[in-house]
């Protein structure tokens, strides 16, 4: 079933561990919201690349068993509420860091983002959850990055560089 022009229900509730990871009915509207945000990211990346940029969904909704099986120890993961998605953009067009930078610098994309994280070889897009009802605009990377101006983007936590670019 298509949730957006490029993202299916199957993409957003796949299991990598043979677990029944069917999204419960009461979270389906959250799953649609996550798919819509991922579709928005895909369009932003396609516009930046000036050609179609597919995104491969690695995770959307994760039931508690899938969440544990994938190595997460978080009991408050946005994935558990169907408000998190992980994806890999077309590697011929973007490195993870380049795609992350395009998304975090976009004029409106970050408005409703709780977390934008590079982790475990993908980009995580987390929307506001029942725990964090106001988007924190949290940005994280796998490793610290030093910007040309000498400012540092720290791995965890980083709360203050958006929208005040480069200030940590």
Full pLDDT tens readout for the chain, 168 residues: 999 999 999 999 999 999 999 999 999 999 999 999 999 999 999 999 999 999 999 999 999 999 999 888 888 899 999 999 999 999 999 999 999 999 999 989 999 999 999 988 899 999 999 888 888 888 887 666 666 677 665 554 433 343 433 333
| Lookup result for tokens 């408005």 | 111
pLDDT the model gives residue 146: 64
Predicted model pTM: 0.84
pLDDT given at position 166: 37
Please tell me the predicted confidence (pLDDT) of residue 159: 37
Quick one: pLDDT at residue 162? 39
- Select from 57, 64, 60 the least CA-distant residue to 19: 64
Provide Rg for the chain, Cα atoms: 15
Give which of 1, 78, 73 is closest to 34, Cα–Cα. 78
Domains of the chain, CATH where assigned: 9-132 (3.30.1380.10)
Nearest CA among 133, 140, 131, 132 for reference residue 161: 140
pLDDT value at residue 155: 52
Which of these, 47, 128, 44, 37, lies nearest to 86 by C-alpha position? 37
């Amino acid at each position: 079933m298509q949730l957006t022009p490029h993202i299916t229900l199957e993409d957003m509730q796949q299991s990598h561990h043979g677990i029944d990871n069917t999204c419960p009915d009461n979270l389906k509207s959250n799953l649609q919201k996550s798919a819509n945000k991922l579709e928005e990211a895909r369009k932003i990346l396609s516009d930046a690349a000036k050609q179609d940029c597919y995104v491969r969904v690695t995770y959307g909704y994760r039931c508690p068993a899938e969440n544990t099986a994938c190595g997460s120890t978080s009991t408050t993961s946005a994935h558990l509420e169907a408000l998190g998605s992980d994806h890999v953009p077309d590697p011929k067009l973007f490195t993870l860091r380049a795609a992350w930078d395009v998304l975090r610098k976009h004029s409106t994309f970050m408005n409703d983002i709780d977390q934008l994280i590079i982790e475990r070889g993908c980009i995580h897009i987390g929307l506001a959850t029942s725990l964090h009802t106001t988007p924190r605009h949290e940005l994280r990377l796998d490793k610290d990055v030093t910007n040309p101006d000498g400012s540092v983007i720290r791995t965890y936590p980083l709360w203050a560089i958006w929208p005040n670019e480069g200030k940590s």
